[in-house]
Amino acid sequence: MNGLTRVEIARITDKVLDHAQRYFRSEGFLEIKPVMLACITDPLDGDPGSAVLKTGTIEYGGQNLSLMQSMILHKQKLIAEGFEKIFIMSPNIRLEQPHREKTGRHAFEFMQVDFEIAHGKKEDVFRIVEGFMVSLSEEFQSLKERGKIEMPFERHLVKDLEAEYGPDWETIMSRKSRHPFWALGLEREFYDDEKNNYDLILPEGYGEVLSGGQRIHETEAVLERMKSHGILEKNMEYVEFARQGIVPSAGGGIGVDRLVRYIAEAEHVGDVQLFPRIPGRPVTF
Ligand code: ATP
Ligand code: ASP
Ligand code: MG
């Protein structure tokens, strides 16, 4: 741990939440209230980085409802209805495998600043996220002292990083870097464009803090991806939605707990949660 008290950590978190809401509003985004239970959620298929045991579910009113793993599908639904720029302070539950305790960056309950831009491209997301990180770094003394965060951030193709550093490129590059950088072109969930997706990686070994992408909007292409991932039958609500027409968009989700861990220089993401939710460890309150 970093010697900060629980109140000091809560103050950092409060400032990050406040800053995120002010920043996204100032960029013309509308804040949407989070959804926590639904008949569909992000299946997290196809992302080799994902290691959930199962999707959390609750049986209620004769329906099997999922705990929200990410609001991506709900974001796309709102964009298709005509919403232009939205963000959600979105609580997520992901029942991560117990071995994830050791990464230092996995909790099984966390929050994303989840945002989406109708007709957006990856360049729009880069500008907004880089602006957010720069403005955040001006708010925190601990970030000012640790290497100025300046735009534009470096961009690296994942295939180049893999060729140079092997499958553990994220850890190696994150430890080597002094600044956040973009990793481009990852293997992804069915809804993301394979060529136009991105992760933001924090420096000093803190690793990934954001994932996002331009979304696939061609109905046949998305259904084909769902079929090849074997998840078509389980997500018929999305199939129906896709058939009515997906509006192109781009977006991403910033992990709040990971961001606070980075600012606080904490050992584990659980150390910045007032009620830690660490894979493999019991919940005590
Ligand atoms: P990882 O590869 O680190 O397991 P992921 O790629 O599975 O993460 P995403 O689906 O990309 O995670 O989720 C979007 C963002 O939400 C992540 O970039 C991260 O900031 C945050 N996030 C995801 N899973 C967790 C978790 N278990 N604990 C804390 N934050 C998380
Ligand atoms: N929030 C992410 C996005 O917008 C989805 C995720 O959680 O993986 O792409
Ligand atoms: Mg990711």
Q: Which residue positions in the chain have pLDDT lower than 50?
A: none
According to the model, what pLDDT value does residue 147 have? 81
Mutation probe of ligand 1 site: the residue of 211, 254, 269, 281 with most atoms within 8 A of C-beta: 211
Q: Give the count of alpha carbons within 13 A of 114, CB side only.
A: 22
Q: From the CA of 48, which ligand is nearest?
A: 1
| Cis-peptide into 152, omega within 30 deg | yes
Q: How far are the Cα atoms of 41, 44, 201 from residue 95, in angstroms, in the given order? A: 13, 12, 23
According to the model, what pLDDT value does residue 46 have? 77
Residue 114 has phi, psi (to 5 degrees) of -105, 120
According to the model, what pLDDT value does residue 38 have? 98
According to the model, what pLDDT value does residue 117 have? 99
The token pair that represents 238 in the structure block: 């999305």
* Ligand 2 binding pocket, CB closer than 6 Å: 42, 70, 72, 112, 114, 211-213, 251-253
CA of 100 to the centre of ligand 3 (A): 14
The token pair that represents 110 in the structure block: 């966390």
Residue 116 has phi, psi (to 5 degrees) of -150, 140
Whole-angstrom distance, CA of residue 131 vs CA of residue 111: 20
Indicate which residue's Cα is closest to atom 30 of ligand 1: 255
Decide the pairing of beta strands 249-255 and 109-118: antiparallel
According to the model, what pLDDT value does residue 111 have? 99
CA of 30 to the centre of ligand 3 (A): 24
CA of 209 to the centre of ligand 1 (A): 7
Indicate which residue's Cα is closest to atom 7 of ligand 2: 70
According to the model, what pLDDT value does residue 140 have? 95
φ/ψ bin of 59: left (φ > 0), alpha (ψ from -120 to 50), beta (otherwise): beta
According to the model, what pLDDT value does residue 62 have? 97
Residue 174 has phi, psi (to 5 degrees) of -65, -40
According to the model, what pLDDT value does residue 27 have? 98
Residue 189 Cβ inside 6 Å of ligand 1? The answer reads no
Nearest to 40 by CA among 185, 235, 253: 235
CA angle 200, 201, 207 (to 5 degrees): 140
